[in-house]
Structures are given as structure tokens and as C-alpha cells.
Structure 1
Amino acid sequence: MGFFLEVLVGGLLAGVMYSMVAIGFVLIYKASGVFNFAQGSMVLFGALTYVSLVERHVHPVLAFAITLAALVLIALLIGRLVLRPLVNRPPIVLFMATLGLSFILEGAAQLFWGAQVHGLDLGIDDKPLNVAGVMISQFDVFAAATAGVLVIGLSLLTQRTRLGLSLRAVADDPLAALAIGIRLPRVWAIVWALAGFVSLVAGLLWGARLGVQFSLSLVVLKALPVLIIGGFSSIGGAIVGGLLIGASEKLAEVYVGSLLGGGIENWFPYLLAMLFLLARPVGLFGEPAVERV
């Protein structure tokens, strides 16, 4: 029983790391109704910029501020140069635009900082903690607490503020939102800036875990099952989806992998996501599309 709890808790905490990336996707989707494929590249760009500045003896706090400012500037440029000209275009057009942005951001990161792998130390020991006989990673506990703070803050922002109301209006109908006086470029810029902040935090946590390398941008693929299960429009759903994916893949690897030869955790989340697409395409907390005729 103790081993089962260790695997379960370890999987849940790992799932929180997936949720950190998924939250950035949710923010963009709620504002534009499009899947932002560039989110993984923003995670890489933020982590690589931060660690490169720190290695050049910039104070960590100042490096964080500079990196965040760079991501906000990128957000403003994306809103001005990419999103504004594509207002009211089909979602596939916006998706292809973000796909192109992902390669541009990766190329810019390599141009500025090079392609070498960097180690990232956030000063958080990855030592196991004994909690009621269950060994829990101290780093995973910190990541879970960080995700909790982000979820609470972003949920309050999107549900209890005028910005949140504007965000939902823009997602439903950009032209109608413009007609009632909502400043579309301003809303998009704020949301992309928030997504940049989330991607920076996620990039630092993932970079500390895996090292800052260009494969870090592929973490976007792990966020896909999380979004499908939790729903593309729910910040809380991103957390629930991450917990389900993290726990199920670890349990499947330990208890079923021995029967099938291992490697289950690499594909099991996508099998689970496919089952959700068949049974509930909008996810657990997604909002079904309502079309009026």
C-alpha cells in the first residue's frame, strides 16, 4: 500500500508540471479561440534567456525581470503584427500563424543564446520528504505550490474582473466585442503577457528538472492530453487534467508496464485523451459550442 501511494503521489505531482504548461494554452484559447502552438517555444525562450543571463552574472531577480519584460514585448509584437491582421479569420489560420511563431521563437533563442545545454539551479533541493511514510519530492511539492498560487490568481482574474469578462467576450465573437467598445488589441496583449509569465515560470521549473535545452519546447506535446481531458477553456480543468494524466501514466507504467514490456507512460496519456475525445470532446470542464441559427 505504501508503494502504491508513493507512485500515486509522485504521479500527481508530476502532473502538476504538465498543468503549468497547459495553463498558458488555456489563457490564449480563452482570448482568441485558437490553440497556441508557440507556447512550448515560449517556455524554452523564457528558460533559456533567464539561465543565459544568470550565467553572465546577472542577479537572478534582475534576470527574471528582464526575461519577463522580453516575453511581454514579444506578446505586444505578436498582438500588433500577427493577431490584429488576422481578426475574424478561421481558427486554422490562427493556428498556422502560431505554428510559424514557434519556429521563429526557437530560432531567435538559438540566435541570441546558442544551442548548448544549460543546467539550471533554482536553489530548491530535490530531496525526498517523508510524509506519513510516503516519500515525496521536495521539488515537486514546490512546483505544486507554485501551480496552486497561479491557478488561484488567474482564476480570480478571469472570473472576477472586467478583464475576464472582456476576455470571454473576445473569445465568443471578436467583431461583436469590438462593436461594444472592447479594445481587442489591448485584451490580446494582456493575455499574451500573462501567458508569457506562465511560460517563464513553467520554463524555469522544467529547466531545473530536465536542463535547459531545445527539446524543452516539446513539452507542448505533454500538454495536449491535459487540455483534451480538462478542457481548453478552463484553468482549473488544466490542473485536473494534469493530475489525471500524471497519476494514470505512472500507475500504468508500474503496474501494467511489466506485463507489456514497459514504455507505457510515453503513449498512455494519448490513449486516455483519445477515449475522452470519443466520450466527451469538450473535456471535463470545457464549454460546449452553442451555435444559433
Structure 2
Amino acid sequence: MLHDIFIAPFQDMFSAPDFLLQVLWEGLVSGILYALIALGFVLIFRSSRIFNFAQGIMVVFAALTLVGLHAMGVPAWICVLLTLGVMFVLAMAIERVVLRPLVGQPDIILFMATIGITLFLIGFGEIIFGGENKVMITEELGIPTGSWTLEPFGGLLILEQKDVTAVVVAALLVIGLLVFLSRTQMGRAIRALGDDSQAALSVGISLHTIWVLVWFIAGIIALVTGIAWGARAGVSFALEVIAYKALPVLMLGGLESIAGAIIGGLMIGLLEKLFEIYWGQPLMGGNTETWFAFVLALLVLLFRPQGLFGEKIIERV
């Protein structure tokens, strides 16, 4: 029994190195997409101390808007621009209607407000787009749908071109975001507001402008993630469940760490795929990907409540 649990999976892992590479590649793609969603959470939390529970439904809403506009006959890349416009209007509406009246309220009130935003977007989205599964406009956006076959170690490694595209676009988006935060005036304002909100406000940084900006950036991230996940699994409200895999990523990486979101996403993606293939399917019948990330995050929190990359909170009495 102990041999089956602890030794046999490792023997299987290294007996077929080409299959192991395939599993690692699948985990890498999932991990990068988890990290993207987590970045949306981190940006909003750093600038406003709001845990944005609505980030998951924003992924779904952005993808549904894109597909819905194309179904009306709008060219694909015009749909992308219009969807970005919709996400900007959504960011402005959330700031003006929901967040601005709640400035100074306890954190739990703001958190509950984001749950309200989630429920509103679910209902509004179902009214406009319906609840059925839709096909992402992958080819219309110029995203290749073929595959490349490599032969490492004498075996086969299949790389879906849409997955490679998603990895490249996600990497460019992360790099662009880091450059924006470190090199631009608005980016530095976002960082200043996250580091010391009172000092930032005292030098004239507009809280409301920053809130609109970070929610819009979160909307851009949601659109990119929605396209990538939609190309893999279709576009429906079921994507919201996938998006919540960002929660254990945040538990691992910390709510305020961009680097933690990236590394935490990669860890979750790789480890859950390895566990599913080598332990979950042989020993538990599969389906461990639905809960493995949350159990892993819980174990980390038992020993480091602020996450692997979060700052330790010291309360003084």
C-alpha cells in the first residue's frame, strides 16, 4: 500500500519522461492563466484594500461580450476594442455607483459590495447573452488552432498552438504591467496608494481615478484570460468556477504580491496537474483538480498565514 502511494507514482513519473513533459506543459499553461486572474485580485487589493470577489465573473462577462458582439456581425478585432470599452464603462460604473459611496466603510462592507457586483453581472449577463455554452472566436482573432509535435526522449510532446499563444500573450501582458507600474506616473501612483494611502492622498493622487484605472486593468486581464480559457473550454458561466482557482493562488502568494501571484499560479497549475495524473487518477479515481489547490493553500496557511510572499502582519498593543 505504501509502495503504491509513495513510490509507484515517482517510478511512473520518470519511466516516461516525454509524458512527464506533457503533463508539466499542461500544468504550466493552466498555472499562467491562474496567475493572470490572481493579478486582477492583487492590483485591486493593493490600491483599494478591496478583495474583489467579482474578478471571476468579470472574466466570464468579458468573454461573453466579445463573443456576443461577434454574433451580431461585428468584425473580431473591432469586438475586442468594443469589449475593452465595455470593461472601461464597467470600471467607471463600479467606482461611481458602488465604491465611491462606500469610501471609509469597513472592509467587510466593500467585500460584500463585490459579491453584489458578481450577482448583478451574472443576472445581467444571462439576460443579454443567455446561459448556453458558446464557442470562442479563436480563428477569427487569428489565434492558431493547430498543434506542434516534438519528440523528446523518443516520445511525443504535443503543444497546442493556442496554448503557446496564450503563454506568450500572458507573458507580454505581465511584462507590460510591470513596466507600467514601475515606469509610468500612473503606475507609480497605484504603487504609492498601495504602500501608504494617506501619504498618497496628501500629495494629490486621486483615489477615484486610481480606482477606475485598476478596475479597468483588471478588466483587460479578465478579457485576455477569458479568450484563453474560452479557446480551451468554451465560453459559459462555468468559467467563473475555473476563475476561482485564483483564490488558492492568492493564499499561496499573498494578497499584495505581484510576484507571489505569478509564482503561486505556476505552483498551483503544475502541482495540481502532477497530483491529478500520478496520484489522483490511479488512487482516487480522478477529479482531484477541483480541490487539490484549496487543500494545498490551506496547508500553507497553517504555517504561514500571510502566504509565501505576503508581508507578515505585526499587531502592536
Report the 3-state secondary structure (helix = DSSP H, G, I; strand = E; otherwise coil) of the residue aligned with 2:149: strand
State the shift of 1:176 in Å: 4.4
1:129 is aligned to 148
| Distance in 2 separating the partners of 1:184 and 1:220 | 27
Tell me the TM-score normalized by structure 2. 0.86
State the shift of 1:166 in Å: 2.1
2:14 is aligned to none
Structure 1 segments unaligned to the other structure (5+ residues): none
Selected match of 1:271 from 286, 290, 295: 295
Report the 3-state secondary structure (helix = DSSP H, G, I; strand = E; otherwise coil) of the residue aligned with 1:256: helix
Report the 3-state secondary structure (helix = DSSP H, G, I; strand = E; otherwise coil) of the residue aligned with 1:8: helix
Structure-to-structure mapping, 1:54-65, within 5 angstroms: 54-65=70-81
2:310 is aligned to 286
| Distance in 2 separating the partners of 1:194 and 1:76 | 12
State the shift of 1:201 in Å: 1.1
Mapped pair 1:192 → 2:192: no
| Distance in 1 separating the partners of 2:216 and 2:109 | 21
Structure-to-structure mapping, 1:45-124, within 5 angstroms: 45-123=61-139, 124=143
Deviates more, 1:129-138 or 1:251-260: 129-138
| Distance in 1 separating the partners of 2:99 and 2:199 | 16
State the shift of 1:240 in Å: 1.2
Deviates more, 1:41-50 or 1:166-175: 166-175
Report the 3-state secondary structure (helix = DSSP H, G, I; strand = E; otherwise coil) of the residue aligned with 1:135: strand
Report the 3-state secondary structure (helix = DSSP H, G, I; strand = E; otherwise coil) of the residue aligned with 1:130: strand
State the shift of 1:156 in Å: 1.5
Asked if 1 retains the 8 angstrom alpha-carbon contact of 2:76 and 2:137, the reply is: no
Count of residues in Structure 1 that have an aligned counterpart in Structure 2: 293
Structure-to-structure mapping, 1:203-222, within 5 angstroms: 203-222=226-245
What amino acid maps onto 1:160 in structure 2?
R
Asked if 2 retains the 8 angstrom alpha-carbon contact of 1:29 and 1:35, the reply is: yes
State the shift of 1:75 in Å: 0.3
State the shift of 1:160 in Å: 2.9
Selected match of 1:246 from 269, 289, 309: 269
Mapped pair 1:260 → 2:276: no
Deviates more, 1:128-137 or 1:7-16: 128-137
Report the 3-state secondary structure (helix = DSSP H, G, I; strand = E; otherwise coil) of the residue aligned with 1:111: helix
Asked if 2 retains the 8 angstrom alpha-carbon contact of 1:28 and 1:195, the reply is: yes
| Distance in 2 separating the partners of 1:170 and 1:85 | 19
| Distance in 2 separating the partners of 1:184 and 1:290 | 26
| Change in 2 beyond 3 A, CA 1:280/1:132 | farther
Selected match of 1:15 from 17, 20, 31: 31
